[in-house]
Amino acid sequence: MTLQIKSFDEYKDVYKRSVEDPEGFWAEQASTFTWRRKWDKTLEWNFREPNVKWFAGGKLNITENCLDRHLDTRGGQVAILFEPNRPEAPVQKYTYKELHAAVCKTANALKANGVGKGDRVCFYMPMVPELAIGVLACARIGAVHSVVFAGFSAQALADRIIDAQCKMVICSDYNDRGAKSIPVKEVVDQAMNMGCESVETVLVHKNTGGPADMPDARYKWWHDEVDGQSAICEAEEMDAEDMLFILYTSGSTGKPKGVVHTCGGFMVYTAYSFKNVFQYQDGDIYWCTADIGWITGHSYIVYGPLLAGATTLMFEGVPTYPDAGRFWAVCEKHKVNQFYTAPTAIRALMAQGDKWTEGYDLSSIKVLGSVGEPINEEAWEWYYHRIGKGNAPIVDTWWQTETGGILISGLGGLSPMKPAHAGYPLPGIQPCLVDSNGALLEGNDVEGLLCMKFPWPSMLRTTYGDHERCRQTYFAAFQDMYFTGDGARRDKNGMYRIIGRVDDVINVSGHRMGTAEVENAINEHPKVIESAVVGYPHEIKGQGIYAYVIVSGPVGDEEAFRKEILAVVTKEIGPIAKPDKIQIVSGLPKTRSGKIMRRILRKVASGDTSNLGDVSTLLNPEVVDEIKTGALAD
Ligand code: PRX
């Protein structure tokens, strides 16, 4: 079984060893899994191309490690505990044995529909067990899953389907979310008319059973295809470096990139980090509130917990339905031991008032986790005292879609904690800070750009279909380093505090958003000539989206125009990308070479117009005053 560190002293020893002998360390971790064939070489790497291979030549199937391996020892234990949106609806439980059977049946259905090793399958589904089952079914047969968060628009979905050339799309009919019913399949229907020619089958899971018509012969019902299948499906033999999944994420430029993760390294790292960060013990009930549409759900709802033989709770609903006590009601109901959520959810619940936390027995909680964005001190304190009652340590887990797993975090209850500090690197992780010239910042009490100087097993291997883009984005900024895009501070004790993105990526409610992507969407409005989008501090969302827009001619009713912009963004990307504020301007501050001075726009958006620095070298310094005067307050 995966090594579990038991004290901070042990962590220090293990860490030291993992840096002195990374290959020996990771080979030892990897040997705790089931391999059909042992790897030839633990690690091969260079960050120039980049070329990173872990456990190459090793043969395995990740689902044998998530499922088959547990059947003898814990076949009857609950693997997935499903809490539906409506509190009165029955809880669903899948034991490891049942999950194994469900995955095999679904895998056989995929095969019967012509999906095989290496084919891409897109998921556009709410948080229902069939999403996890479908993802595992792909892994079972060596198909590559590409889960698209079901809040994205038809256009965004189509872009991702086309980029990955998916052969199949799996969706639900509807989604019950809070008091709303969301027509999920309708979005897929629209996407199918946007050039998704690679798609041969659309498999529709009947979730709510609302009215649904099948537009053409490609559409099939999940139950028709899956129910009659055999519950035995031999797992496909995969190389450790074969692709496991693609997950799209926003960067500072252009379209979202398909981050590629591979089978062996992702398996070893997610299991190891899960066991250690959350200090998961046999029999514990673990709950991560993320959506499987994001990396957190991939690594720490599905793979990490199942690899570790855990009981993972999946929640269909939202934190405020039927009321703002729902998270705590679920924790009490299922006696949750590890609870993992995002600062934005904590702040939103905090804003609803303490009364919603009262009257629940939260004594089962042993570890509280935070992920996705910096957690401010106030939210940290509230989480620690109100929810954890001062007894449950907080693990502030820093990582990214590209890192596959948690890289910097406390180990629940073992490591020293400091509000707003992610803390120390996990074993095997070698972070460093550099200045903008790439010079290494040695010692403690320094602030700079966060990089990694050595590979770890679950790091991205490429961006789908465009390796050069991967190199440019992550490996070109600083020689022989992976650049995270984040700024960070190392305090006097060597603990890391993540400050936030230093590129044009903003983090809205824990959702990563490229400003260029939002600008491109806004520019689709026929009256918009140019736009610039920046983030600004937002009390609940962490960052809000502030858009400056240049229009051609009069817009008439400004409110109606703003609504049109929101509609365009919703259509192009989805409601999560809607700007919070839209300021109409006659120009954008630009340098003489035509580059937008975002620094000025960020300052104005944050409400601070006091010291904008020297603007005299701008091409158009006069617009700065206009922008300041027209700045939108809260
Ligand atoms: O800026 C960091 C922030 O989220 C970014 C990664 O976003 P994404 O790929 O969507 O993955 C989110 C879930 C892992 C990072 O570059 N971030 C993530 N976790 C933290 C964080 N910022 C501060 N503290 C964290 N714990």
3-state SS of 41-93 is EEEEEECCCCEEEEEECCEECHHHHHHHHHHHHHCCCEEEEEECCCCCCCCEE
Substitution candidate for ligand 1 out of 373, 397, 459 with most atoms within 8 A of CB: 373
- The closest-lying atom of ligand 1 relative to the alpha carbon of residue 422 is 26
Residue whose CA is closest, atom 18 of ligand 1? Answer: 372
Substitution candidate for ligand 1 out of 273, 400, 449 with most atoms within 8 A of CB: 400
Whether residue 416 is preceded by a cis peptide bond, meaning omega within 30 degrees of 0, is: no
Regions in the chain scoring below 50 on pLDDT: none
CA–centroid distance, 511 to ligand 1, in Å, is: 9
Substitution candidate for ligand 1 out of 417, 486, 499 with most atoms within 8 A of CB: 486
Does the predicted TM-score (pTM) go above 0.95?
yes
Residue whose CA is closest, atom 14 of ligand 1? Answer: 400
CA–centroid distance, 538 to ligand 1, in Å, is: 17
- The closest-lying atom of ligand 1 relative to the alpha carbon of residue 511 is 10
CA–centroid distance, 425 to ligand 1, in Å, is: 15
CA–centroid distance, 372 to ligand 1, in Å, is: 4
- Residue 481: what residue type? M
CA–centroid distance, 280 to ligand 1, in Å, is: 22
- The closest-lying atom of ligand 1 relative to the alpha carbon of residue 294 is 10
Question: Ligand 1 pocket: which residues have CB below 6 Å?
Answer: 249, 295-296, 370-374, 396-401, 422, 484-486, 498, 500-501, 507, 512
For residue 131, give every residue at least 6 positions away whose Cβ sits within 8 Å of its Cβ, in sequence order, or none. 123, 125, 147, 292
CA–centroid distance, 400 to ligand 1, in Å, is: 5
CA–centroid distance, 510 to ligand 1, in Å, is: 7
Substitution candidate for ligand 1 out of 294, 482, 483, 498 with most atoms within 8 A of CB: 498
Q: Are 575 and 594 in contact (CB under 8 A)?
A: no
In terms of phi and psi (left: phi > 0; alpha: psi -120 to 50; beta: otherwise), the region of 31 is alpha
pLDDT at 369: 98
pLDDT at 612: 84
Residue whose CA is closest, atom 15 of ligand 1? Answer: 400
- The closest-lying atom of ligand 1 relative to the alpha carbon of residue 408 is 26
For residue 611, give every residue at least 6 positions away whose Cβ sits within 8 Å of its Cβ, in sequence order, or none. none
Beta bridge partners of 45: 52
- Nearest-angstrom CA–CA distance, 18 and 359: 45
Q: Supply the DSSP symbol for 331.
A: H
Q: What is the pLDDT of residues 500-556, one digit of tens each?
A: 999 999 999 989 999 999 999 999 999 999 999 999 999 999 999 999 999 998 999
CA–centroid distance, 26 to ligand 1, in Å, is: 24
- The closest-lying atom of ligand 1 relative to the alpha carbon of residue 397 is 26
CA–centroid distance, 412 to ligand 1, in Å, is: 19
CA–centroid distance, 546 to ligand 1, in Å, is: 20
Residue whose CA is closest, atom 5 of ligand 1? Answer: 400
pLDDT at 631: 86
CA–centroid distance, 345 to ligand 1, in Å, is: 15
The alpha carbons of the chain give a radius of gyration, in whole angstroms, of 24
CA–centroid distance, 342 to ligand 1, in Å, is: 10
SS3 string of 251-286? CCCCCCEEEEEEHHHHHHHHHHHHHHHCCCCCCCEE
CA–centroid distance, 399 to ligand 1, in Å, is: 5
